[in-house]
Amino acid sequence: MTVANTVEGASVTARKTGFRHVVTSIRGDGWASAGIITIAVFILAAIFAPLLTAIPGQNPYTYHLGLLDDSGAPKGWGGGISATHWFGVEPLTGRDLFAIVVYGARTSLLVGVSATILSVLIGVLVGITTGFFGGWYDRVMSRVVDVMFGFPVLVFLIALTAIVPSSIPRPLFMIVVIGLFGWPAISRVVRGQVLSLRERNFVVASTAMGARPGHVLFTQVLPNVTATIIVYATIMVPSMIGFEAALSFLGVGVPPPTPSWGRTIGDAVGWVQTSPMYLVFPGLALLLITLAFNVFGDGLRDALDPKAVRR
């Protein structure tokens, strides 16, 4: 009800929120474009990891003890950077750091994206049904969400790794558990949106016309929620990636020899002084992918939000 509202002219200019408009908006937003390009680079690097590492002829598993000095630190500048070892080598093992970083992208992206997909699927399902149908089902689920929200997730995850039998592959276990802790956040946001949409006249009109609840959900409610879901999913991926990295950092994540940025950073703690590049390369990779997703998610939200101030 601010004065600015009354200034609207009689002709309302069209504000497209279709796909084409989103693409134009993102392209116009410098940060967001950089974000999506970075994401694409990382995804390609992860998919084509074997090809990429074949260029210098390396892989993340082979030990190169000859490149280390007596204390285990890599010889040469920057942790052993050379034409064949683009990022240098790992202390104590001599494994190629470039290969570790590239293959580590696989772990991070696999766990991060899969966990997000799992969270989104469950969260959207719960959010839409509780928001739309309400009743005791909604009340019970809300309490469950409340509890899960406040739960010390990291602590619980660490504890769970103690009892999980080793027959279950660790990445799968991580995806399932991280995903299971992520859905409350999305469900709450979706539920809130559905609650407010439910009272909007066009939803009521649809019911008044004789549409079944399922039809109303799909045709009227869902299209108005998809924007939120997409934005939220995009912003959730970096959190999931971060979770996996944190667990690996603490030593309770993906077990060796599978490369993981988090575990490498964890190992780098003791080498910060002597071989700082051991920390910098995986750290930078993690920072870049997280930043890229966050920035892209922000740009996406601005593009899809009809109320956003156009720059």
Candidates 30, 48, 54, 219: give the one binding other proteins (CB under 8 A): 219
Q: Does 37 bind other proteins (CB under 8 A)?
A: no
Q: Does 162 bind other proteins (CB under 8 A)?
A: yes
Residues 242-261 that bind other proteins (CB under 8 A): 242, 245-246, 249-252
Please give the full DSSP string across 189-204, using - where no structure is assigned: HHHHHHHHHHTSHHHH
Q: Does 83 bind other proteins (CB under 8 A)?
A: no
Candidates 51, 77, 143, 169: give the one binding other proteins (CB under 8 A): 143
Candidates 156, 172, 218, 257: give the one binding other proteins (CB under 8 A): 156
Interface region with other proteins, contact rule CB under 8 A, candidates 63-71, 72-80, 107-115, 294-302: 294-302
Query: In 3-state terms, what secondary structure has residue 32?
Result: helix
Contact between 104 and 264 (Cβ < 8 Å): yes
Q: CB of residue 231 vs other proteins: minimum separation in angstroms? A: 14
Radius of gyration of the chain (CA): 24
Contact between 239 and 113 (Cβ < 8 Å): no
210/98 Cα distance (integer angstroms): 61
Candidates 105, 126, 128, 295: give the one binding other proteins (CB under 8 A): 295
Interface region with other proteins, contact rule CB under 8 A, candidates 55-63, 66-74, 79-87, 262-270: 262-270
Q: How many residues contact other proteins, by CB under 8 A?
A: 76
- Any residues with CB less than 8 A from the CB of 103 and at least 6 apart, and which? 49, 53, 60, 259
Q: Does 167 bind other proteins (CB under 8 A)?
A: no
Candidates 14, 57, 70, 167: give the one binding other proteins (CB under 8 A): 14
User: In the chain, what is the greatest distance between 2 CA atoms, to the nearest angstrom?
Assistant: 81
Residues 175-204 that bind other proteins (CB under 8 A): 200-202, 204
* Phi, psi torsion values for 305, nearest 5 degrees: -85, 115
Contact between 191 and 127 (Cβ < 8 Å): yes
CA 49 to chain centre: 20
Per DSSP, the chain holds a count of helices (H) and strands (E) of: 13, 0
Interface region with other proteins, contact rule CB under 8 A, candidates 62-70, 102-110, 151-159, 168-176: 151-159
Q: Does 20 bind other proteins (CB under 8 A)?
A: no
